[in-house]
Structure 1
Amino acid sequence: MFTGIVEEVGTIRAVRRGAHSSVLSIGAALVLSGLKVGDSVAVNGVCLTATGKDEGGFTADVMHETLNRSSLDSLHAGSRVNLERAMAADGRFGGHIVSGHIDGTGRIAAVRGDDNALWYTVEAAPPLLRYIVEKGSITIDGISLTVAAVTDTGFSVSVIPHTAAVTILGQKGPGEVVNLETDILGKYVEKLLRPAENPSQPGGISLEFLAENGF
């Protein structure tokens, strides 16, 4: 589990590609502290398992499903990536609940300045937009952000200078692809409510259930 607070920007040292998978070698410093083989690290918001570690970085396997769902397939030697270690049990919850399981990708449609902030408009598909709500949380390339506006084709976020400076988002512009993870709470609520849409399927939450239980 992660919080969406990026700890450092790392650099892809090498990519070894298989038929349907990849092995990433990632240069890092801060996230190496306490990192052990088998630990989880979010790379541009994607939860990966450290399979090796040396003084200058770590390696991680990327499976077929992850390449299909995320932008990791476009990484190459020299690419910069956002890194975050899994949250410690006694850590501060500075962002929001982030699983590191990417729902899909979006494309930056526009970037504009607003005094000291940067507004990013991101195009996304309807299956993702259904879980994105104004003033809700969204993870973009592993960064916990607040949704400022939602339309039929995308959404917008306002990014403070610090976030733009310490993550790769500040270097991205229109046309670039970003990893998106929607708020996990919305997906669980939908899962609980869905059986109510099918009377033949028992369980779930309905208006009748809520009324019977005092809601």
Structure 2
Amino acid sequence: MFTGIVEELGEIVATEQLADAARLTIRGKLVTSDAGHGDSIAVNGVCLTVVDVVDGDSFTVDVMAETLNRSSIGALVEGSRVNLERAAALDSRLGGHLVQGHVDGTGTVLSRTPSENWEIVRISLPDAIARYVVEKGSITVDGVSLTVSGLGIADDAAADGNRDWFEVSLIPTTLALTVLGTAPVGTTVNLEVDVIAKYVERLAQRG
């Protein structure tokens, strides 16, 4: 379980394609400082398991085919920057919201509108998860816990086929310390909706 508060910007230092998976080596001095085999680290919002620690500042993870197909992890190459967060400790503050690290779908950055103190980013929203997203609710974008500041439906579908969109407002800290700060229009991002909404829907169906 995570909170969506990015601890560190890491970097992909090596990739290895396996038969039905990929092995990534990721540099992140802070999150590696107390990491061990079997620990969970969120990489751009995807919960991955540490296989080995390398040179004290990097770790390796194996990514199965399903994760590669359902997230943007498969597009990472050597030199890619990534958001990193260690699993939440029970005695820590919940700064964001409850994040599982299980990607529900991907969206595309549609536009960026800068302001004096923040930037509004519009992202396409897959039809399959649109019903779980509400204005002022929480959503995780590439592992970052954010508040939905706007929702809408475009006249035409985006390049990824989605018509629904949502907006988030990024403060200077988020712009400076996460990959969202420099993600250009057209970037594919990982999305995880608030799991509580899915539980409520399931309960309502069975009621």
Query: Which TM-score band (shorter chain)?
Result: over 0.9
Unaligned runs of 5+ in 2: 154-163
Q: Which residues of 2 match residues 1-215 of structure 1 at below 5 A? A: 1-54=1-54, 55-152=56-153, 153-195=164-206, 205=207
Say whether the 8 Å CA contact 2:16–2:22 is kept in structure 1. Answer: yes
Larger-gyration structure (1/2): 1
Cα displacement (A) at 1:60: 0.4
Cα displacement (A) at 1:34: 1.6
Structure 2 residue matching 1:151: 3-state secondary structure: strand
Structure 2 residue matching 1:127: 3-state secondary structure: coil
Give, in whole Å, the separation in 1 of the partners of 2:122 and 2:129.
Answer: 15
Unaligned runs of 5+ in 1: 196-204, 206-215
Structure 2 residue matching 1:38: 3-state secondary structure: coil
| Matched-pair identity in % | 51
| 1:117-161 Cα distance to aligned partner (Å, 9 max, x none) | 010000121112111100000000000000001113110000000
Give, in whole Å, the separation in 1 of the partners of 2:85 and 2:57.
Answer: 16
In structure 1, give the amino acid aligned to 2:129.
L
The CA RMSD over aligned residues, in Å, is 0.8
Poorly superposed stretches of 4+, deviation over 2 Å: none
Cα displacement (A) at 1:21: 1.0
| 1:57-78 Cα distance to aligned partner (Å, 9 max, x none) | 0000101111111000000000
For these two proteins, the number of residue pairs brought into alignment is: 196
| 1:4-57 Cα distance to aligned partner (Å, 9 max, x none) | 000000000111112331011001100012211100000000000000002120
In structure 2, give the amino acid aligned to 1:146.
T
Relative to the length of structure 2, the TM-score reads 0.93
Say whether the 8 Å CA contact 2:2–2:88 is kept in structure 1. Answer: yes
In structure 2, give the amino acid aligned to 1:156.
E
| 1:154-185 Cα distance to aligned partner (Å, 9 max, x none) | 10000000111011110101111000000000
Give, in whole Å, the separation in 2 of the partners of 1:19 and 1:192.
Answer: 40
In structure 2, give the amino acid aligned to 1:160.
I
| 1:75-104 Cα distance to aligned partner (Å, 9 max, x none) | 000000000000011111000000000001
Give, in whole Å, the separation in 2 of the partners of 1:176 and 1:19.
Answer: 27
